[in-house]
Amino acid sequence: MLAQLLQFLLAGLTVGAIYALVALGFAIIHNASHVINFAQGEFVMIGGMATVSLANSGLPLPLAIPIAVLAAAAVGVVLEKFAVEPARGASVVTLIIITIGASILLRGLATLVWDKKLHALPPFSGDQPIELAGATILPQSLWVLGVTLGIVLLLGWFFGRTLTGKAMLATAHNPLAAQLCGVNVRFVLMLSFGLSAALGAIAGILIAPITLTSWDVGVMLGLKGFAAAILGGLGSGTGAVVGGILLGIAESLGAGYISSAYKDAMAFVIILAVLFFMPSGLFGSKSAERV
């Protein structure tokens, strides 16, 4: 009984860590530009697919992974420069449609550059399950958890201690004031898209050995990441991480104990339930309307 619960928790934690990474990407871009980037899931796809194809062409993983992450970051910057930047000042819905267009475009490109098949990435360090109090955990899951933890700490340091990170936070708070203080707002925007794309790509690479990857893997992961970001409260880094983990665990428990067919629905039932009582998510700031 207890072992089974632990098994579900471990599985949920692994998926939740991935959701958290995607959600962080949503939060960073939203903070910098108030855009919800519906192409966020495509970065996850690009990360996984690029690593697979680089590895297949003979590149060792330690080399293939950074190249794939950089490639995704480059796509993120290009997306900002040529699709989001020209539409600044447009309505929220217009920007949503633009990023959805970008998501379709990127998926189309993926089918051209790669194919429409499922691909597997070899685990980073074997697939021998590790026993843990009656439950088992894959080494790859440990990679997922470890890397996510590292990234969260790194981001905490970046936003709390470095000048660039603080400049990004200042821009999120008040772009005009930040600009007056000498922050290059356009650079911050590009940086936020590059950073989000890199985070998404890392998530995609980490999860690829567990769930396989393909040209359309980003759709559901993107939506779950958005759900996690909203659950935590848009714009809150802590919220994104907590939202992601909670969503992953709830999904895993729901699938295990209630119904596996409704696994994907679970995340959305939870988010609706939370929003009905906390309309700004768990950690979202309640914005008082000034008139």
Partner 1 sequence: MNWRTPRTGGLALLAAVIALLPLALVNNYWYEVAILIGINAIVCVGLNLLIGYAGQISLGHAGFFGLGAYGSAILSVRYGWPPAAALAATTAGVALLALVVGRPILKLKGHYLAMATLGMGIIISIVIVTEDRLTGGPDGMSVPAFTLPGLTLAGERVWYWITGAALLAAVWIALNLIDSPAGRALRALHGSEVGAQVSGIDATRAKVGVFVISAVFASFAGSMTAHYSGFITPGKVSFFHSIELVTMVVFGGMASTFGAVIGAAMLTLLPQLLTILKEYEMVVFGGVMIATMIFFPRGLLPSLMLALGRKRK
Partner 2 sequence: MNAPQLEVTALSKAFGGIHAVDQLSFEIEAGKVHSIIGPNGAGKTTLLNLLTGVYAPSSGSVRLEGSDVTGLEPHELAARGMARTFQNLQIFFNMSALENVMVGRHLRERSGWFTAMLRFPRLTAGERESREEAAELMRFVGVGEYIDADADAMPYGALKRLEIARALGSKPKMLLLDEPAAGLNPTETHDIDTLITRLARSGVTVVLVEHNMRLVMGVSDHIVVLDYGRKLCEGSADHVRSDPRVIEAYLGSEGLAAC
Q: Return the amino acid letter for 233.
A: G
Which CB sits closer to partner 1, 112 or 180? 112
Q: Does 281 bind partner 1 (CB under 8 A)?
A: yes
Count of residues that interact with partner 2, criterion CB under 8 A: 4
Binding mask of the shown chain, residues 202 to 231, with x at each position contacting partner 1 by CB under 8 A: -----------------x---x--xx--x-
Q: Report the partner that residue 288 touches, choosing among partner 1, partner 2, none (CB closer than 5 to 8 A by kind).
A: partner 2
The window from 81-89, 133-141, 146-154, 250-258 that contacts partner 1 (CB under 8 A) reads: 81-89
Neighbouring-strand partners of residue 66: none
Q: Does 157 bind partner 1 (CB under 8 A)?
A: no
Which residue of 2, 112, 176, 180 would you call a contact of partner 1, by CB under 8 A?
Answer: 112
Q: Return the amino acid letter for 36.
A: I
Least distance from C-beta 245 to partner 1, angstroms? 18
DSSP string for 166-177 = HHHHHHHH-HHH
Which CB sits closer to partner 2, 91 or 128? 91
* Cα separation, 64 vs 235, whole angstroms: 31
Rounded to 5 degrees, what are φ and ψ at 247? Answer: -60, -45
The window from 21-29, 197-205, 225-233, 282-290 that contacts partner 2 (CB under 8 A) reads: 282-290
* Cα separation, 95 vs 34, whole angstroms: 10
Which residues make Cβ contacts (< 8 Å) with residue 61, sequence separation at least 6? 51, 55, 122, 124
Q: Report the partner that residue 177 touches, choosing among partner 2, partner 1, none (CB closer than 5 to 8 A by kind).
A: none
Q: What is the DSSP letter of 213?
A: B
Q: Which residue from 209, 165, 228, 191 is spatially nearest to 47, judged by alpha carbons?
A: 209
CB 213 within 8 A of CB 204: yes
DSSP 3-state of 136: strand
Least distance from C-beta 287 to partner 2, angstroms? 12
Which residue of 1, 2, 112, 288 would you call a contact of partner 2, by CB under 8 A?
Answer: 288
The window from 120-128, 164-172, 232-240, 283-291 that contacts partner 2 (CB under 8 A) reads: 283-291
Contact positions with partner 1 (CB under 8 A) in 19-48:
30, 36
CB 278 within 8 A of CB 286: no
